[in-house]
Structure formats: structure tokens, C-alpha cells
């Protein structure tokens, strides 16, 4: 079995617009419904996880020049095992995250570590 890193993305503009146009009550209801669907999805696919993942927080970009606060579209990650890249991608078809407008899930193979000399 190969390992794959799945990165969940939501455009920051979508999140900002949702916060501006949605009441706190509606936001809570929508978030609760999403998390219930998410929990069911995790339970249904648990056997494939190497790591059930976690939400991703605020971001700092480190360059040769400085460290700065930035915003990006990254939201959550999982690590799964599958026979192929295609099979790993199919695991995430129909995931509740994809109900969010403009959202996506990027699935990348985690190749074996090259030997360091």
C-alpha cells in the first residue's frame, strides 16, 4: 500500500463572504451539520487512515528575508493508504467538504524518503 496526503482547501474569499453574509446562528447550524456529516464520513472510511488529520490554523510564511502572517486556502489534512493514486483520490469523492462552494481536495502521493548521503 502507498501513502497519500490529502489537503482540503476552501478559497479564503468564500470564507470571508460567508462570515459577512451569514448570521452567527445560521453559521452554527451549518457548521454543526457539516461536522456531523464529516464524522460519519470518517467513521465509514476509518480503515484507510494512516492519520485522521487535523484542521490547519493560522499560517506564517518563512522566507530568507523575513517571517510574515499570510492567509491561504488550506483547511485540513488527512493521510491515507491506498493501492494507487486513483484509488486514493476516489476515497474523497462525495466528502462533505466538497459541499462548500469552490472547495477542493488535493491528493498527493507521499513517496519513500530518498536516501540521504
Q: Which residues of 61-79 are buried (b: 16+ CB within 10 A; e: fewer)?
A: eeeeeeeeeeeebbbbbbb
Residue 11 confidence (pLDDT): 94
Residue 85 confidence (pLDDT): 97
- pTM (predicted TM-score): 0.88
Separation of CA 5 from chain center = 9
| Residue 117 confidence class, pLDDT cut points 50, 70, 90 | low
| Residue 116 confidence class, pLDDT cut points 50, 70, 90 | low
Question: Mean pLDDT, to the nearest integer, of 97-117?
Answer: 90
**For 60-87, how does the pLDDT look when each residue is reduced to its tens digit (9 = 90+)?**
999 999 999 999 999 999 999 999 999 9
Amino acid at each position: 500500500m502507498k501513502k497519500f496526503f490529502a489537503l482540503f482547501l476552501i478559497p479564503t474569499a468564500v470564507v470571508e463572504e460567508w462570515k459577512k453574509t451569514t448570521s452567527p446562528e445560521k453559521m452554527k447550524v451549518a457548521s454543526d451539520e457539516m461536522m456531523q456529516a464529516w464524522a460519519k464520513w470518517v467513521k465509514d472510511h476509518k480503515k484507510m487512515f494512516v492519520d485522521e488529520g487535523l484542521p490547519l490554523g493560522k499560517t506564517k510564511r518563512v522566507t530568507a528575508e523575513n517571517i510574515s502572517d499570510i492567509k491561504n486556502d488550506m483547511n485540513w489534512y488527512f493521510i491515507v493508504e491506498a493501492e494507487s493514486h486513483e484509488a486514493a483520490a476516489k476515497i474523497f469523492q462525495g466528502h462533505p467538504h466538497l459541499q462548500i462552494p469552490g472547495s477542493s481536495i488535493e491528493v498527493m502521493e507521499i513517496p519513500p524518503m530518498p536516501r540521504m548521503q
